[in-house]
Amino acid sequence: MILHTPDLGADPLPLEGVLPAEILELEEEFAQAEAPIVTRLVAQRTEEELLVSGTLQTTVRLQCGRCCAWIDWPIHVNGFLVRFQEPLDEWIDLTPAIREDILLALPIVATCPPGQVCEWEERQAPPAEPVHGQDVWKALDQLKE
Ligand SMILES: [Zn+2]
């Protein structure tokens, strides 16, 4: 996402777009970027600086750190903010800043979200055993005696 700064006036300029997943350069063993990145940004130029702020949204594929299943991991960067001091370069590429903010939003270790079956959790759960043994009614009978 490249801005031509001489075109920027005093009015805020909306920058809504869709960037390809490839800009993330996310080709890790545990993480893959496949979905496009939706940007809702506004560029605002003042006398001192150019301010670009807004939200970024995408979904990456991460491997659960416990059961190794691939999960869709939604990413919402609500406070994207980048500043460029005057004098501005003629061309400003926002892509590195967008890439960095999305990568920073990734978890160190992803785990299956609540509501989704994580095989690791299933293996950890001990078989349910009745607190009072198998014969609950026998215990009640003893109370009567
Ligand atoms: Zn899992």
pLDDT for 130-141, tens place per residue? 666 556 666 666
Region 82-89 average pLDDT: 95
Check whether 145 has a pLDDT greater than 60: no
CA of 133 to the centre of ligand 1 (A): 32
CA of 115 to the centre of ligand 1 (A): 11
DSSP 51: E
**Distance of alpha carbon 12 from alpha carbon 118, whole angstroms:** 46
Alpha carbon of 65 to those of 80, 108, 110: distances in Å? 28, 9, 6
Check whether 92 has a pLDDT greater than 80: yes
CA of 72 to the centre of ligand 1 (A): 12
pLDDT for 26-47, tens place per residue? 988 899 999 999 999 999 999 9
Domain ranges of the chain: 2-116
CA of 117 to the centre of ligand 1 (A): 7
CA of 58 to the centre of ligand 1 (A): 21
Region 1-10 average pLDDT: 91
Q: What percent of the chain has pLDDT over 90?
A: 73
CA of 121 to the centre of ligand 1 (A): 7
Looking at residue 127, its pLDDT comes to: 66
CA of 65 to the centre of ligand 1 (A): 7
